[in-house]
Every structure is written in structure tokens, then in C-alpha cells.
Structure 1
Amino acid sequence: MSGRVVVVTGAYGALGSAVARAAAEQGARVALIDYGPQAPAGLLDACGPEAFAQGGVDLTDAVAASAAIDAVAERFGGIDALLNVAGGFRWETLEAGSWESWNLLFRMNVLTASNACRAAVPHLRRSGAGRIVNVGANGALKASMGMGAYAASKAGVHKLTEALAEELKADGVTVNAVLPSIIDTPANRADMPKADPSSWVSPAELAAVMLFLASDAASAVTGALLPVTGRV
């Protein structure tokens, strides 16, 4: 990844931070985009002196997403990889839940990814070895109770990944998605205090797979939905 320009959306969260740090450790020039206003303490230092952060970006807004992506390309002279981590989760049954959850999760998971991808495609084509890696969900392959809205939105990310891979396969741009199970984050530990997190996927493990898909070593892989489920 040395010298490559890598954009991470949702970069201030537990997984996004791990992805950004791992990319920087591999020599990438990292751009961090997030809805939150400020990066967590120490994250920018960990990403190196060239790290470029943009907080307060609403990726559900296509205009805002385009402006943020274009700002990265202007700063670094191009973009080589887009790693879409931005998204959200809500557990609720259909009967007891709200119709608003379906709209909210579609916007947080599908629109953020599609808007970022649309904005990045022209820059990735010029890279000569462009990469897009989306974050889907293993739970979208077979939804459990209370996972309807979340699974439906992540299934949308899966189909976006497959369709875009076909759209760009002749342009030297690969498009893949990772499908994690439960990620070992502070929020998930708090929500499931009786669970055993030792079987979950760590952010660092998932980041390693994402960076493989963003590397030259994965040039022959596109349109893949890769389960990263740990021992769940």
C-alpha cells in the first residue's frame, strides 16, 4: 500500500479507525471522512503527517459526498482506494419497531456507500489500479429476528457491490465487500454483556482483510462477498 491514497469513510468509529491505522502502517496516505465533527484522540497522529481528515460530512447527501471525495483527490492528486466503513445498526422487530428505521438504515448503509462510490469512480479509473471495499454483513445472508431493516440495507450493499464490480471490471477497478459477523467493539460488548467476545471478529482482523482486497495482490478478485466471521 506504500504511497497509495486510501479513503476511509466512517473513519472515526471503532472499525474505521482500525482500518485507517492499518492502512497508514502499510505506507498508505490516508484520508479520513466521518459524520462526527472530530477525530478520536491520537488517530491522526497514528495515520502519519500526511493524514487528511474531514469531519461533519453527511455521506447520505450526494453533493456533500462528492465534495469530500473531490477534496481528497485535490489534496493528494488522485485516489487509489475507497474503503466504505460508514454505516449503522438498529435491532427491532417489525411489529414493535418503526417504519422510520427502514428508511434510516437504508440511508446510513446503502446511500453512504453508493454516494461515496459514485463520487470516487472517476478518480479510481485514473488510478489504473482502483479499489473499492464495502462493508456488508454476514447477517444479511440470513436475517435473524429483529434484523430485518439492518439485513435488508446490508443486502443492498451486497448488490451494489456486485453491480458496480460488473460496471467497472473493464476499467481496472475492483469492487468487493467483506461480510463480518459480530465485530468486537466497545459498543457491542456493552450491548451484549453476557456474550463471549473471544469468538467475535476484531477490528484489526477485519481491517487486514479489507486492506488485502485493496492491494495489488487482490487484483484478480472483484464482485466478491467475503465472509469474515471469526468463530461465531
Structure 2
Amino acid sequence: MGVDGKRIAITGGFGTLGASVVQVARAAGAHVVAIDRADAAPQALKDAGVHAVGGVDLSDADGARKAIDAAVQALGGLDALVNIAGAFRWETLAGGSVDTWDLLYRINVRTAVCASKAALPHLRQSKAGRIVNIGANAASKAAAGMGAYAASKAGVMRLTEALAEELKDANITVNAILPSIIDTPPNRADMPKADFDKWVKPEQLADVILFLVSDRASAITGALLPVTGRV
């Protein structure tokens, strides 16, 4: 997969997608630290001996810096940051709370901003630094009830583009993938009549993320890559 020996920090690393990326990356020979707001890593990551940094509020700049520094210490450096930490809410404007807009901005955009800022000094020391963000295909055109979520994920997309331009001369690429519906247990529970075979699998997203981390993707930066399955 081209990530053998890469040192990767993964935020949201205890969740379904994050844990999948952690496991696929480790299987491909990468050295990984999982960072998450939850205090304890899932048992599968514990059993695999994954180095975990829990109890982190990545929307707090100081908290993000301490977490990234801990990851760098464990890894002996940093080659890539994968910003997976995020959240989803479905709310109409009429029936929802204005506070949801602030909440999703904080969880989806600010976490990526703080983690990326904290990682930059370390990524500049890598021979080929990488940042991969998680946007959303739904942010291209928001549906009813998706305004706050789409706005926050659009913010991630604009962050990706701006940071890619900022770092063009620093040998650091910045890209984002744009998933559709991810095949997770909560999504299956929320949409039990859906055709799950059409959804994109966490392992499929992990493969694309790790391609963007690899040296083979050195010519790609500022890209917003849809990974939508057959939705």
C-alpha cells in the first residue's frame, strides 16, 4: 500500500472509520497513534497493541497540541495526520437548535484546524508530509435537515484547499475524501430498509486515505475526492 514505516496520527481513531483506518494502516506496515475524545480505546485496538491517546478535546488548541506531541513522542516523528474526528446531526432549521451549527463547526472544522496546526511543525520535518481530511459528498448540495452538517463539512473542504495552497512549497500535501453514506452499525440501525451493499465500506475509505498518505500520491494536493460507493 506504500505506507510501510510511515508514522501516522489518526484523530477520531476510536470510532468505526478511525479504527478501520488504524487497523488497515498497521497491517500495511505503518506506525500509528489513535487519538480520540473518548477515554478508552475499543477492545480491538487494545488487543492489537495500538498506542492510544484518549480523553482529548481536539477543538481546544492546547489540548490538540498536547495530543499531537504525545503521538510524535510515541512515533519518533510524524509523516501524516488523518483528521477523522467529527459528528453528524440531522435537524431542520425550524425544528432544530441554532446551537447545532456551532456544535458541528466545533467538532468537524475546528478539530481539523487545531490538529493540523499542531502537526505542522512536525510534518515540516518529514520528507513527505501528508494531511488527509474527511469532508462529505453531502456538502456539495445540502438536503433538508442537512444544513448545519453540510456547512461544517464545506468548511473542511475549504480548509483543505487553503492549507494545500499554503503548504505547496513545504513538501506537505493536503487532501480530503468526500464519503457518502458509510456502512456503519449506527447507519444501518437508522436506515434498516436501505441497500447496504451500495454504501461505502470503512475499509474502502481506509484504502483511499492510505493511498493519499503514500508516496505514490505525492503529485496530489488540494484534491476533494468523492468516495461514494454506489449511492
Which TM-score bucket, shorter chain as reference? Answer: over 0.9
2:42 corresponds to which of 20, 40, 43: 40
Q: Is structure 2 residue 64 aligned with structure 1 residue 65?
A: yes
Residue 52 of structure 1, CA deviation: 1.7
Q: Deviations over 1:41-65 (max 9, x none)?
A: 121333xx5x321111010111000
Q: Which amino acid aligns with 1:129?
A: A
Q: Deviations over 1:167-223 (max 9, x none)?
A: 111110000000000000001011111211110000000010000000000000000
Partner of 2:211: 212
TM-score (norm 2): 0.97
Task: State the secondary structure of the residue aligned to 1:131.
Answer: strand
Distance in 2 (alpha carbons) for counterparts of 1:45 and 1:24 = 13
Q: Which amino acid aligns with 1:139?
A: A
Partner of 1:13: 15
Distance in 2 (alpha carbons) for counterparts of 1:45 and 1:219 = 33
Partner of 1:29: 31
Q: Is structure 2 residue 6 aligned with structure 1 residue 4?
A: yes
Residue 76 of structure 1, CA deviation: 2.1
Q: Deviations over 1:115-143 (max 9, x none)?
A: 00000011011002000000000000011
Runs of 4+ in 1 over 3 A off after TM superposition: none
Shifted more, 127-136 versus 75-84: the winner is 75-84
Residue 75 of structure 1, CA deviation: 2.2
Residue 68 of structure 1, CA deviation: 0.5
Distance in 1 (alpha carbons) for counterparts of 2:14 and 2:76 = 23
Residue identity over aligned pairs, in percent, reads 62
Distance in 2 (alpha carbons) for counterparts of 1:215 and 1:31 = 17
Residue 74 of structure 1, CA deviation: 1.9
Partner of 1:161: 160
Task: State the secondary structure of the residue aligned to 2:43.
Answer: coil
Task: State the secondary structure of the residue aligned to 2:81.
Answer: strand
Identify unmatched segments of 5+ residues in structure 1. none
Q: Count the aligned residue pairs.
A: 229
Distance in 2 (alpha carbons) for counterparts of 1:85 and 1:151 = 16
Distance in 2 (alpha carbons) for counterparts of 1:124 and 1:226 = 22
Q: Which amino acid aligns with 2:228?
A: T
Partner of 1:94: 93
Partner of 1:74: 73
Partner of 2:182: 183
Identify unmatched segments of 5+ residues in structure 2. none
Distance in 2 (alpha carbons) for counterparts of 1:225 and 1:76 = 28
Q: Which amino acid aligns with 2:73?
A: E
Task: State the secondary structure of the residue aligned to 2:125.
Answer: helix
Q: Deviations over 1:85-144 (max 9, x none)?
A: 000000010111100100000000000100000000110110020000000000000111
Native 8 Å contact 2:40 2:54 kept in 1: yes
RMSD, aligned α-carbons: 0.8
Distance in 2 (alpha carbons) for counterparts of 1:44 and 1:122 = 29
